[in-house]
Structure 1
Amino acid sequence: MDSNPPFLHRYGALLHNSSKIRNSLNDQRGEIVGECELPLLDLKNLTSDNEGERRVCVGEIAKAASEWGFFQVLNHGISHELLEEMRREQVKMFEMPFEKKLSCRLLNDSYRWGTPTATSVKEFSWSEAFHIPLSKISENGWCFGEEFNSLREVMEKFAAAMSELARLLAGVLVENLGQSRQFFEENCNESTCFLRLNRYPACSLSPEIFGFVPHTDSDFLTILHQDQVGGLQLMKDSTWVAVKPNPDALIVNIGDLFQAWSNNVYKSVEHKVVVNPNVERYSIAYFMCPSYDSIIGSCKEPSLYKKFTFGQYRQQVQQDVKMSGIKVGLPRFLI
């Protein structure tokens, strides 16, 4: 049985004509100017006994978050062995037959594929994923069959390591603004954050099909582990640029909530994934989120944004996508 989702069968009306695809996306894609080297930051200096070295590292992280919204980190504390172990478990899940992934309710029924709300190609993502609340990983009844006995243990270790790194980076960014870490310590923990395991099957239909549509992340902070296939692109100076994979680094990006909380000091940058015609791509994303009733207010006045809860923000995003196919995001909450 085929492991790939039946994209053409389900979305044939959107995908059958490549020339129409090209025309409909012509205004969306922009010109790609080669590959970019994201700021590459060595986190070992964050624990240095030399206060000067530590302050320089904090400044570099804050500068990247302000100017790029994206950066890469080395010496992040997550072992290569754990990353590879998580990757093997991820591949094993996605290699299951599609019907089994769809019906077995693996990982608390967290399997997603395609874009059910899409009404045009520009709203469609050629990808599949398991979107998993960290709070569900250790619950009984979440897995399927003997073949995934090791999955829970690996995911628990991986989520704990990612959570520790996210708290470290968020703390640094908060510290740079001269603010207390209390909000993040009280509202962002393992019970409110998510893992998303992504697979982007090869797609030779058209180079204009998105693996994941242009978007910004709706969290505080995202940490991404990707393979070496490439495909991640971000908006820099009004131009799409491709991110060159680095096998030794994790990618970090600012989300909408951090942009609002920092009063636009840190930037949540639009990004997307493009498909590869010959090779599948894998990635794993950790999303640092608060509880749904957490009030997101700017850390200083005058604030550029109205106060809102994370739950209200998610609801507005979902409503906008349902009505127009497009995420509006933070502009909805500007004063």
Structure 2
Amino acid sequence: MDSEPPFQEVDNSLLEEKEIKFIAVNETVEEYKIPVIDINRLNGSNEADKEECKREIARASIEWGFFQAVNHGIRQEVLQRMQREQVNLFRQSFEKKAGNIKGEHPSGLSENSYQWGTPTATCLKQILSFFATLVFSLAHIIAEILAENLGLKSPFFKENCLPNTSYLKMIKYPPCPLPGKVFGLAPHTDTDFLTILYQDQVGGLQLVKDGRWVIVKPNSEALTINIGDLFQVKVACILNWF
């Protein structure tokens, strides 16, 4: 497709005939549900249920480092619109997306596109801003719950987790021309405080649990929460674990 980058031209080294070596925790991949938590319980009038919801969030974060949040307050139509705009952007020709790569707008949408109300740029900016605001609010709620359940009184999260320290990423993984020879991303951890992910229905996300790879099955109603390295390091510093 002309919307895809010239993968074989740029990264030929990945496709060379050679032995592929990688480190696996365990080659067994299992598919079962990670914790699913109804976040809307935090808004109810039952204090006992609120506290139980907070404990579930803390327990899932400690035992899994992941959980899926449902009834999170972000409407399905917002998520779907966000996904549509993302698809529209990625379907533009590679030349158009890369045309302004030397400047500050690698998407090919210049600053003037926003000033003059270019439909593509305006729609994208509107939904990005709206979606980012909602997700940032959810991240704050989760961070404060984790801090509270760890007994932390520090105002660090409220004072330092600001909108300008957050970022929104739209990622597309194009089909690999040689899937039998090239693997996906190397095993890694997220380096941020919290990652809030809206998966498409294709899947592909895996995590390590008790030494085994676990498939995170997509849930169109859920947002997947991943506890990042910075959160763990900050908690360790506050509790003097080092």
Please, what TM-score do these two structures have when normalized by structure 1? 0.66
Residue in structure 2 matched with residue 155 of structure 1 by the alignment: 128
RMSD: 2.4
Distance (whole Å) between structure 2 residues aligned to residue 227 and residue 241 of structure 1: 17
1:98-177 matched pairs, under 5 angstroms: 98-105=94-101, 108-109=104-105, 140-141=111-112, 146-177=119-150
1:185-196 matched pairs, under 5 angstroms: 185-196=158-169
Distance (whole Å) between structure 2 residues aligned to residue 48 and residue 217 of structure 1: 32
Distance (whole Å) between structure 2 residues aligned to residue 212 and residue 109 of structure 1: 26
2:12 is the alignment partner of 1:73: no
SS of the aligned residue for 1:240 comes to strand
2:200 is the alignment partner of 1:227: yes
Q: Percent of aligned positions with the same letter in both sequences? A: 44
Shift of 1:105: 4.6
Q: Report the residue type matching 1:229 in the other structure.
A: V
2:171 is the alignment partner of 1:198: yes
SS of the aligned residue for 2:21 comes to helix
1:242-257 matched pairs, under 5 angstroms: 242-257=215-230
- Structure 1 pair 66–207 and aligned structure 2 pair: CA distance change class (3 A): farther
Distance (whole Å) between structure 1 residues aligned to residue 132 and residue 221 of structure 2: 19
Residue in structure 2 matched with residue 42 of structure 1 by the alignment: 38
Q: Report the residue type matching 1:254 in the other structure.
A: I
1:83-102 matched pairs, under 5 angstroms: 83-102=79-98
- Structure 1 pair 161–195 and aligned structure 2 pair: CA distance change class (3 A): same
Distance (whole Å) between structure 2 residues aligned to residue 168 and residue 177 of structure 1: 14
C-alpha deviations, 1:23-65, integer Å up to 9, x for none? Answer: 323x347413321211000011112221111111111000000
- Given that 2:60 and 2:67 are in contact with CA atoms closer than 8 Å, whether structure 1 keeps it comes out as yes
Highest RCO, 1 vs 2 (Cα 8 Å, sep ≥ 6): 2
Distance (whole Å) between structure 1 residues aligned to residue 123 and residue 103 of structure 2: 13
Distance (whole Å) between structure 2 residues aligned to residue 32 and residue 106 of structure 1: 44
Residue in structure 2 matched with residue 294 of structure 1 by the alignment: none
2:229 is the alignment partner of 1:260: no
Distance (whole Å) between structure 2 residues aligned to residue 60 and residue 215 of structure 1: 25
Where in structure 1 are there 5+ consecutive unaligned residues? 112-129, 131-138, 264-297, 305-335
Report how many aligned residue pairs link the two structures.
239
Shift of 1:145: 5.0
Structure with a larger share of its residues in strand: 1
Residue in structure 2 matched with residue 290 of structure 1 by the alignment: none
Structure 1 ranges of 4+ moved more than 4 A: 139-146
- Given that 1:36 and 1:243 are in contact with CA atoms closer than 8 Å, whether structure 2 keeps it comes out as yes
2:29 is the alignment partner of 1:24: no
Please, what TM-score do these two structures have when normalized by structure 2? 0.90
- Structure 1 pair 185–94 and aligned structure 2 pair: CA distance change class (3 A): same
Where in structure 2 are there 5+ consecutive unaligned residues? none
